[in-house]
């Protein structure tokens, strides 16, 4: 099997030296011809990983009901952008739009906007939305969102944005980079020293040799841009991803292929590359850009407080035993906090207009 992306990366490293993980991730995921999203069908049982909206329609239904609720709370602005960043197969938006039929005024005011970098996935999303997406609009970046009050969801979008890593060596902190070993294989190397301490976490001075610290200027910039858009035009963004609420030291850079962890350097463009999202860093960036950001919570707590168990009961009513068992299993997978469940590993954060009516339930308690 030809490995053009690996060859292209190796040639570039040979010519100009090691590349940062950020550059490596961007090449592997987004290369227009050989990148992961351009050529793999990552999602679902036959792909590399399963995401929440692909587990059950309940996920998109609960998110859709939440969006209707906050849109009412914001004073029912019309028109508004009903947006999604990184829509994958389009399942979440399709399930939200079906739920939106419950409120014809909401549906009529919604302009559907999808932020998607991959041409191939845009086609998949268009087909999935069908008539519901007849006047949907696709844009490349958050910056290209229309100047309307915006109600946006992003599921597993931020984890795909590039990260940088720093490693503590005997010679001080250095950027962790991708280089070539003497047999021409890709491997991790420590780049030049002289790292700006502002890039490093508080307390990095006490970290042991070999400690790795991650940061993602790309994710923080995306959160700031989204927050600035919402602070200017109104609305709310809901960000779901796996990650941690407190920053920490550690290497979470990972590759997933065929539902199993793989070596991130082994097959560029053939495995999904992600890392855990630092929600504290996103919240800081979004607040600095002028948004109101309530404390993030776990996905399980959010979905259950938003009525997922009740919705599951309604969906299961009158269905066969095996169908009901499948619905219960989906709720456990989405909300369960034990191993195999996404409920605790996944977090959700709201980025709201500062004058959106409070409390924002379920992030904030009802008065």
From the list 85-93, 182-190, 260-268, 310-318, the region that binds ligand SAH by CB under 6 A is 85-93
Pair of tokens at residue 30 = 């987004």
Residue placing its CB nearer to ligand SAH in the complex, 160 or 271: 160
Q: Lay out the site mask for ligand SAH across 12-31 (x = CB under 6 A, - = otherwise).
A: --------------------
Choosing from 24, 66, 157, 279, the residue that interacts with ligand SAH (CB under 6 A) is 157
319: number of Cβ within 10 Å: 12
Helix (H) or strand (E) holding 277: strand 277-278
The reply on whether position 51 binds ligand SAH by CB under 6 A is yes
Choosing from 115, 227, 273, 289, the residue that interacts with ligand SAH (CB under 6 A) is 115
Q: Which residue has the tokens 């999904």?
A: 272
Residue placing its CB nearer to ligand SAH in the complex, 87 or 235: 87
The reply on whether position 37 binds ligand SAH by CB under 6 A is yes
Burial of 307 (0-12, 13-18, 19+ CB in 10 A): middle
The reply on whether position 53 binds ligand SAH by CB under 6 A is yes
The reply on whether position 121 binds ligand SAH by CB under 6 A is yes
The reply on whether position 88 binds ligand SAH by CB under 6 A is yes
- Residue-level length of the chain: 367
Checking 46-51 for CB contacts under 8 A at 24+ apart, the result is 48/256, 48/257, 48/258, 48/259, 48/271, 48/272, 49/256, 49/259, 49/272, 50/259, 51/88, 51/155, 51/156
Residue placing its CB nearer to ligand SAH in the complex, 9 or 92: 92
Query: Which residues are within 8 A (CB) of 326 and not within 5 positions of it... i.e. 6 or more apart?
Result: none
DSSP letter string over 168-233? EETTEEEEEEEEE-TTS-EEEEE--S---GGGSPTTGGGPPTT-EEEE-HHHHHHHHHHHHHHHHH
From the list 67-75, 83-91, 190-198, 302-310, the region that binds ligand SAH by CB under 6 A is 83-91
Residue placing its CB nearer to ligand SAH in the complex, 53 or 64: 53
Query: Which residues are within 8 A (CB) of 126 and not within 5 positions of it... i.e. 6 or more apart?
Result: 90, 133, 136
Pair of tokens at residue 50 = 């399963």
From the list 12-20, 49-57, 101-109, 259-267, the region that binds ligand SAH by CB under 6 A is 49-57
The reply on whether position 155 binds ligand SAH by CB under 6 A is yes
The reply on whether position 158 binds ligand SAH by CB under 6 A is no
Residue placing its CB nearer to ligand SAH in the complex, 155 or 168: 155
Q: Lay out the site mask for ligand SAH across 159-198 (x = CB under 6 A, - = otherwise).
A: -xx-------------------------------------
The reply on whether position 48 binds ligand SAH by CB under 6 A is no
Helix axes 119-129 and 91-100, enclosed angle (nearest 10): 30
* Chain centroid, CA 288 distance in Å: 20
The reply on whether position 237 binds ligand SAH by CB under 6 A is no
- Please state the closest distance from residue 331 (CB atom) to ligand SAH, in A: 17
Which residue blocks in 17-87 are alpha helix, DSSP H?
21-30, 36-39, 52-55, 57-73
Q: Cα–Cα distance between 289 and 229 in angstroms, integer?
A: 9
- Please state the closest distance from residue 73 (CB atom) to ligand SAH, in A: 25
From the list 51-59, 178-186, 199-207, 345-353, the region that binds ligand SAH by CB under 6 A is 51-59
The reply on whether position 346 binds ligand SAH by CB under 6 A is no
DSSP letter string over 121-141? HHHHHHHHHGGGGTT-EEESS
Q: Which residues bind ligand SAH (CB under 6 A)?
A: 37, 43, 51, 53-54, 86-88, 92, 115-118, 121, 155-157, 160-161
């Amino acid at each position: 099997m030809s490995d053009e992306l690996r060859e292209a990366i190796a040639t570039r490293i040979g010519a100009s030296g090691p590349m940062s993980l950020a550059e490596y991730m961007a090449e592997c995921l987004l290369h227009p011809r050989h990148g992961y999203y351009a050529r793999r069908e990552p999602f679902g049982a036959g792909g590399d990983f399963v995401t929440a909206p692909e587990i059950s329609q309940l996920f998109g239904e609960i998110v859709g009901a939440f969006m209707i609720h906050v849109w009412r709370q914001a004073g029912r602005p019309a028109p508004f952008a009903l947006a999604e960043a990184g829509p994958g197969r389009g399942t979440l938006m399709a399930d939200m739009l079906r739920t939106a039929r419950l409120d014809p005024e909401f549906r009529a005011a919604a302009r559907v906007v999808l932020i998607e970098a991959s041409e191939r996935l845009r086609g998949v999303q268009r087909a999935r939305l069908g008539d519901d997406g007849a006047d949907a609009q696709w844009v490349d970046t958050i910056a290209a969102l229309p100047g309307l009050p915006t109600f946006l969801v992003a599921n597993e979008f931020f984890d795909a944005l590039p990260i940088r890593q720093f490693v503590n060596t005997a010679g001080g902190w250095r950027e962790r980079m991708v280089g070539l070993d003497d047999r021409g294989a890709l491997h991790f190397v420590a780049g030049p020293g002289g790292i700006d301490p502002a890039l490093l976490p508080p307390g990095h001075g006490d970290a042991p040799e070999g400690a790795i610290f991650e940061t993602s200027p790309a994710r923080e910039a995306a959160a700031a841009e989204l927050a600035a858009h919402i602070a200017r035009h109104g609305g709310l963004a809901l960000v779901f991803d796996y990650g941690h609420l407190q920053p920490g030291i550690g290497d979470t850079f990972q590759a997933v292929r065929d539902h199993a962890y793989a070596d991130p350097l082994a097959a560029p463009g053939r495995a999904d590359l992600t890392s855990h999202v630092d929600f504290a860093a996103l919240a800081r960036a979004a607040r600095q850009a002028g948004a109101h950001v309530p404390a993030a919570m776990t996905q399980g707590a959010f979905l259950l407080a938003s009525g997922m168990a009740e919705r599951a009961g309604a969906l299961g009513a009158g269905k066969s035993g095996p169908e009901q068992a499948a619905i219960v299993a989906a709720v456990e997978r989405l909300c369960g906090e034990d191993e195999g469940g996404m409920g605790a590993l996944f977090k959700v954060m709201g980025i709201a207009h500062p004058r959106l009516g409070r409390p924002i339930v379920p992030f904030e308690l009802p008065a």
